[in-house]
Amino acid sequence: MTFPTAKLLINGELVGASDGAEMDSVNPSDESLLGRAAHATATDVADAVKAGEAAWPAWHALGVDRRAEVMRTLAARIRDRKEEIARTETRDTGNLYRAMLGDVERAASRIEFYAGLGHAMTGHTYPATPNHMHLSEREPFGTVGRIVAFNHPFYFLASRVGAPLIAGNAMVLKSPDQAPLSGGIFAEICRDVLPPGVVNIMHGSGAQTGDALVRDPRVKRLGFIGSVGTARAIQRSAAEVAIKHITLELGGKNMMVVLPDADLDKAAALAVAGMNFEWQGQSCGSTSCLMLHESIHDAVLERIVARMKTINVGDPFESGSGMGPLISAAHHGKVMAAIDKGTQQGARLRVGGERPAGSAFAKGYWVAPTLFSDVDPGSALATEEIFGPVLSVVRWSTPDDVLKMDAASSLGLTASVVATDVSKAMAFARRLRVGYVWINCVGPHYTGVPYGGFKNSGVGREEGLEEILSYTDLKSITIAVPAL
């Protein structure tokens, strides 16, 4: 049987790793081999950066309008292969096919969004002295690096080229080693649309390929989406070779706070929706810590239990499936260990907590949607990101109960507040130390709205104008203006 191989893209050419190494990609539904990806060496990364350094001056010199035109073509070519990309992504990640179709469309849409924002990269003038003109302008960093997470491989790879490219940079991207195959398709599209060297795509492990990119002193600007632990390792490695501008979009133990006046059915629906079961709860923004006020706790919990029991775990290509498998054996082990720890710490397991029954689930990285109640506010279930389909329910009585938990957390990515009285919800939103708050809604990222976290959940903001500006350096110029 012939398996597809995702090639590296270096200077406009699809190539294997310089040492011939490849890594396997496994179907998380049944553990069968799906394909392989070239495993980039440090030499390959250095060649990719060299290609970017040669390409970015001409790319920048095209000007905003021409760069935008090329980027819109890139988005169109992505849409041309939408179904192929989504099928590959579903097989490689276990995420639902309908969700992956949405990811591909969102990626193309975000590239178009940034193409249209190019003329917002403005400088300023400054009235500092009467005999000079003081001005600033924005310039690209040159070659920038991006390392993305496994939960949305294609979306993160493709959508995150928008801001750097419109700013005039070249790029070296690293796909997630758990799911690299859609990155091979994106490499083919970029080869066909972009000038050689403007986008270079690597596959490989974080320890080898990612570290080589982080440590290359020519790459001043880095963006990373992933875990707190990996982000800290990136900061350490980068600091050993150069001073770098690094933005980090990391995880969270995100609260959904349900106030006493909330509509009970709406609260239950939002609690389930906020878990992002379409991605098996593998979402940094999932509201996995549900804070139910004691006056409505039992009534809302009953509704959530009923809803979660109806989620159909199964083949991610089937329209009736509500959740697929986890990404890998290692991650499955991590999630199951967190579930076991929760039980040991005295939480009450209400739904799930084990591999679904049946021969269809004998192989693969399956776990049923899981719900714990009676969760202690200081326990691991309430404080540690699991990155899986595990919802922890905590009872609260006073606002201080919620605010103390928030203050004690080292994370601060998102939160949701559910209430009839929006003024009370807004009061919570302003007190919670997180980067994004939904009120009476959950989940989606909206075009142009900045996204990022407080505390250890990240540095910087993505998905808006702020992201474009973060891929530029600011140069100040002073011109002497003599008197007439």
CATH number at residue 89: 3.40.605.10
Question: Any catalytic annotation for residue 249?
Answer: yes
Strand ranges, E, within 352-439: 370-373, 390-396, 411-412, 414-418, 436-439
In this structure, the answer to whether residues 225 and 261 fall within a common structural domain is no
Distance CA 463, CA 267 (A): 28
- Enumerate the β-bridge partners of residue 25: 35
The pTM of the full predicted model, rounded to 2 decimals, is: 0.95
In this structure, the answer to whether residues 276 and 144 fall within a common structural domain is no
Distance CA 283, CA 229 (A): 16
Q: What dihedral angle (degrees, nearest 10) is formed by the CA atoms of 274, 280, 281, 283? A: -100
In this structure, the answer to whether residues 201 and 329 fall within a common structural domain is no
Question: Any catalytic annotation for residue 83?
Answer: no
In this structure, the answer to whether residues 265 and 411 fall within a common structural domain is yes
Distance CA 42, CA 213 (A): 8
Residue 143 belongs to what domain range? 5-250+458-476
In this structure, the answer to whether residues 180 and 312 fall within a common structural domain is no
In this structure, the answer to whether residues 235 and 300 fall within a common structural domain is no
**DSSP secondary-structure letter at 19?**
T
CATH number at residue 437: 3.40.309.10
- What sign does the dihedral 316-317-321-322 (CA atoms) show? positive
- Out of 89, 112, 278, 284, the active site residue is 284
Distance CA 184, CA 9 (A): 8
What is the distance between the terminal CA atoms of the chain, rounded to a whole angstrom?
81
Phi, psi of 304 (to 5 degrees): -70, -45
Phi, psi of 93 (to 5 degrees): -110, -25
Q: Residue 168 corresponds to which tokens in the numbers above?
A: 């005039």
- Walk along the chain (484 residues) in steps of 10 and give the mean pLDDT of each run: 88 98 97 97 98 98 98 98 97 97 98 97 96 97 97 97 98 97 98 98 97 98 96 97 97 97 98 96 96 98 98 97 97 98 96 95 97 97 97 98 97 98 97 98 91 97 95 98 88
pLDDT of residue 1: 61
Q: Is 451 within a domain?
A: no
In this structure, the answer to whether residues 225 and 338 fall within a common structural domain is no
- Out of 112, 249, 278, 385, the active site residue is 249
Distance CA 449, CA 274 (A): 18
In this structure, the answer to whether residues 205 and 292 fall within a common structural domain is no
Identify the CA nearest to 370 among candidates 433, 305, 322: 305
pLDDT of residue 4: 84
Distance CA 410, CA 444 (A): 23
Identify the CA nearest to 399 among candidates 288, 290, 299, 291: 291
